[in-house]
Amino acid sequence: MSSPLFELRGELPKSQKIQIGLLGAVVIILLWWLIVKLGLVNPNIVPSPIAIIGSIPELISRDELFKHLGLTVFMNVVSWIEGAAIALPIGFAIGLFPLINALFGGYVTATRYIPLTATIVLFMAAFGIYMFMKVQFLTFAILVYLITAVVSRVQETPQVYVDAVKTLGANRWQTIKSVFIPHVLSRVFTDFINIVAISWTYAVYVELINKQEGGIGALIQNLYFRQNEVDKLYMLILIMVGVGFCFDLLLRFIDRKAFPHKYV
C-alpha cells in the first residue's frame, strides 16, 4: 500500500497537515536566513527574517501600523459588501431572462478584459481623490468578475431541479426562490472568496492616490522613499498576506456554516 503522503489527490489528517505545514515554514525561514547570512543576496534588497521581525515595534509605534491597516480593511470590506449587493441582482437578471441576457450579457462578460488600473483616472474625475472614490474603484474591480460568476452559476443550475419544482406547481417566482437563489448563492460564494483576493491587491494600488488618507499602500509608498527600511516593506507585505489569509479562513468558515451541504 502506498504512503498517504504521496497518494494522488490524497487527504491527510488535519493534525498531520498542520504539523507538516509548520515544518515547511521552518524550512523556508531557515533557508532564507542562511542565504542572507552567507551573503548570497544583498541584505538591502532581501533582508533576513530576523531583521523583518525586528521592524514590527517601530512599525507599530512610529508608523501607526494599526491605523493604516484598519483603513485598508475598512475600505475592502465596504467594497465587498457593495459589490455583492450590486452584482447579485444584475447577475440573476442576466442569467435568468433571455431578453436581458441578449441585451447586456455579452457586454458585461467583456468587462472582465478592462485594464482596471487604467480606469483609475475616470474614477478620480467622477468621485474625487478621497476614500469614497477608492471604495467605488474596488467595488468596480469586484463587479467585473462577480457579475459574470453569478451569470455562469445561474446557467449551471441543473434543469432537473427546475423541472421538479414545476411538476409540483411552482410558479416563476417560486422556482427562482426555491431553486435558483439557494443553488446559485451556495456556488457563487466560493467565487466571491476568490474574487475578494483581487480587490485586496488593488487596494494597495488605489491607496497611492491621496496618500495623506493613509492605508497600507500609502505606508508602503512612504517607506519606499526612506533609506534602509526595506525590512519594513517586507513586513508589510507579510502582514497583508496574513490578514488576507485570515479573511479567507473567515469567509470559508461562513461558507461551511451557511451551505453545509457543499461539504457533505
Listed by start position, the domains of the chain span: 4-41, 54-263
Distance (Å, whole) CA 254 – CA 35:
40
Contact 76, 198 (CB under 8 A): no
Q: What mean pLDDT is predicted for residues 137-164? A: 92
Reported as a single tens digit per residue, the pLDDT across 106-145 is 898 898 888 888 899 999 999 999 999 999 999 999 999 9
Distance (Å, whole) CA 150 – CA 88:
7
Contact 145, 233 (CB under 8 A): no
Contact 100, 94 (CB under 8 A): yes
Confidence of residue 2 (pLDDT cuts 50, 70, 90): low
Considering the domain 54-263 in this protein, what is its CATH number?
1.10.3720.10
Average pLDDT of every residue of the chain: 88
Return all residues near 20 (Cβ < 8 A) that are at least 6 apart: 12
Q: For residue 32, is pLDDT > 70?
A: yes
Distance (Å, whole) CA 196 – CA 80:
7
Q: How many other C-beta atoms can be found within 10 angstroms of the C-beta atom of residue 104?
A: 14
What is the 8-class DSSP label of residue 177? I
**Which pTM value belongs to this model?**
0.85
Distance (Å, whole) CA 119 – CA 35:
41
Q: For residue 3, is pLDDT > 90?
A: no
With cell 507599530, the residue in question is 60
Distance (Å, whole) CA 219 – CA 159:
51
